[in-house]
Structure 1
């Protein structure tokens, strides 16, 4: 005698306890939650075996509860306690068999406070099956394509059943093991599962925890928070895309403007004048006509494997000191391991802002100099020139840097999110 579709309850044929019948006609077994008897639903609920009374795994989801997934109503009809032990550490989670009169069977998993929906898929190309041996031999994490999306290897799990209760569309047994290769995609996990008798491909998605718990009549606050799951969706900041594009455009614009202003402004008020260093100190005059912008004193030397430091004191039209600075010219070169190298610069600049227009005076003097190596020499001549009306790009460069850092910070949020998704992977190079 097989089970009747209209049956709503039965008495356990071992202990007599009343058991609700919630699944469809493809249910093959019913495990009594009171005595642990495993009953054959297709043979008048004959006792196949008994697992005895066992402690219920830690899950707030109970048999008989109802929920919806993508507007499809499901009922919880069975519970499996699962575990995996590796190198002395054990992980536990709970899988609940679901049934829909219109869409058949699926699974709801309770794992670290997260709610996952899993269903078999029939359209995966089994020629692309991935085994643990293939993973072990791979030099990079294997990938597979499914439904137009790319899935990357995440972990290999060898799990076993250590608790069962309720109805199932097969006959489970305590200690039964399965090996699952899990690949992580943009919004789902693709699981390739091999048991003793068959191979199956399943697709797992993360359900909205608060919505599910509310449907089940459970208090999310009382249950406590969930741990972060690899399928936890990315939460962008408000107008993140616009912000990222705006910061990048602002950074590029500031750089372009800084380069444009720096290269196109200014006029020469003292043409380049070459001066022997041994004639210093010496005074030079120039006329300032623009006191609203920067002036720049340029120094050009001829040091070779040496350096020279020059002081420049500027006095205004009244003879009062306006500013003083030091410019250093230095240049080093050589051959190392057959390759020529050089460093330093034989030019330097001193910036100042005139207080008024009129004739200004520079007093140029040699502060100190030095050489490197036996054939090194400091500057023997220095060329002096002055420009006025220069626009400082300093704050534009600072602005460009800040905009750039902002763009990096916003962009990095998504990169960090993707990196954290695979933080729990067991892949090792």
Structure 2
């Protein structure tokens, strides 16, 4: 890759360090105004190829650059050359990171920033063809109709450097603010606050694989990733969004099937009557005489039957056993259901519990001619009526709702994992939306 893009850049030159007299390689001479001697780490101001002056002394870099100075690459279709390596720290903290300055043939500088093994490709207005000035709203900015949330504010300080740049990068005073909308971020820099010079840059998260491929490196040679990057894309978020889409489609399909079954097998009323019941003193306490309902026909091969029973019990109960009898082969299906309703006044407050109506369901009833044998009993020997309504092909909305709830379990799990991932991301920020452990 280097050979294919080297022709876009001028050949390197050397100058002598004015402090230790060692040769310094200039990787992009036309863009060299400040340079660091790799021997004595003097930060030099270049006036001519023969004259450099000491600006200040810098510390020796704590780490060797993993991206070689002078190496070339192509990112987003643009040929780039690495011309500087900087080690920075946040003022009055222990947070340190590394930045590589890359130059293009005609689009200016870009930065590859690495913190805890997480990489960001950061470019400004000159590099981005569709750049639009972000709109600031204090705790967020809007860039291309996307909201970027405030993640960090800091004052960066250069502690070590190798290579060259065309501006006084070491001595400039910067107030930086980062806003994130993974995998992108907006970086706001206020340079030399008294002059109120504000620049915006757009950062894009790059994976270790992308960096290794771009520079033809072994991925194991890159810094190990620690934690979650500020704008690292979340696979948990992608999985949650996919689960929402898939679950939404599944729920629509379930509802359509429910409506289709209702249209193909509409409900049909088999019995709807109020039956007279009589207390049977000979049969023992609470027993009432049994009775048989008129016959009815189930026409579908397999159906359900729902029985609604009701009676005007008052501070009492009624229970009935219903036996469904197939008149052709005497096969039977039996269900029992009770109703009870109590009410009163206690400590001046009225109360009530129970109901005078209940329902019970039988499933998988074959076609045929049927009647009901009904065996009622009640604590009220004067109870004289029992309402029964039998309906076949009842719409199973309950089953449909249960199915929908089960379908929602997977996206709920995905949401929890996504939220946990975001909480871990925002643990690195003083502006976390997750307050008090929420």
Indicate the TM-score class for this superposition, using the shorter chain for normalisation: 0.7 to 0.9
Is 2:366 the partner of 1:352?
Answer: no
Name the residue aligned to 1:49. Answer: 56
Range that drifts further, 110-119 or 181-190: 181-190
Give per-residue Cα distances to partners, 1:225-278, cap 9 Å, x unaligned: 53433433455569878735521321332454577689x412233622254789
Deviation at 1:386, TM superposition (A): 4.0
After superposition, the Cα gap between the structure-2 partners of 1:244 and 1:269, relative to the gap in structure 1 and judged at 3 Å, is: closer
- What TM-score, normalized to structure 1? 0.75
Is 2:110 the partner of 1:106?
Answer: yes
Of 80, 83, 88, 2:89 maps to 83
Three-state SS of the structure 2 residue aligned to 1:211 is: helix
After superposition, the Cα gap between the structure-2 partners of 1:16 and 1:333, relative to the gap in structure 1 and judged at 3 Å, is: farther
Give me the whole-angstrom Cα distance separating, in 2, the residues matched to 1:63 and 1:192: 27
After superposition, the Cα gap between the structure-2 partners of 1:40 and 1:333, relative to the gap in structure 1 and judged at 3 Å, is: farther
Give me the whole-angstrom Cα distance separating, in 1, the residues matched to 2:17 and 2:382: 104
Give me the whole-angstrom Cα distance separating, in 2, the residues matched to 1:157 and 1:100: 28
Name the residue aligned to 1:251. Answer: 254
Deviation at 1:26, TM superposition (A): 3.9
Name the residue aligned to 2:390. Answer: 387
Name the residue aligned to 1:232. Answer: 232
Of 127, 149, 153, 1:152 maps to 149
Q: How many residues align?
A: 398
Of 152, 162, 177, 2:159 maps to 162
Three-state SS of the structure 2 residue aligned to 1:218 is: coil
> Is the CA contact (8 Å cut-off) linking 1:301 and 1:329 kept in structure 2?
no
Is 2:374 the partner of 1:362?
Answer: yes
Name the residue aligned to 1:218. Answer: 217
Give me the whole-angstrom Cα distance separating, in 2, the residues matched to 1:90 and 1:167: 26
CA RMSD of aligned residues (A): 4.2
> Is the CA contact (8 Å cut-off) linking 2:318 and 2:376 kept in structure 1?
no
Deviation at 1:294, TM superposition (A): 2.8
Name the residue aligned to 2:188. Answer: 192
After superposition, the Cα gap between the structure-2 partners of 1:406 and 1:277, relative to the gap in structure 1 and judged at 3 Å, is: farther
> Is the CA contact (8 Å cut-off) linking 1:250 and 1:400 kept in structure 2?
no
Give per-residue Cα distances to partners, 1:74-103, cap 9 Å, x unaligned: 1111111122367xx632210111112322
> Is the CA contact (8 Å cut-off) linking 2:307 and 2:360 kept in structure 1?
yes
After superposition, the Cα gap between the structure-2 partners of 1:294 and 1:106, relative to the gap in structure 1 and judged at 3 Å, is: closer
Of 265, 268, 271, 1:266 maps to 268
Any stretches of 5+ residues in structure 1 without a counterpart?
136-141, 370-377
Any stretches of 5+ residues in structure 2 without a counterpart?
1-9, 281-285
Give me the whole-angstrom Cα distance separating, in 1, the residues matched to 2:371 and 2:64: 89
Name the residue aligned to 2:121. Answer: 117
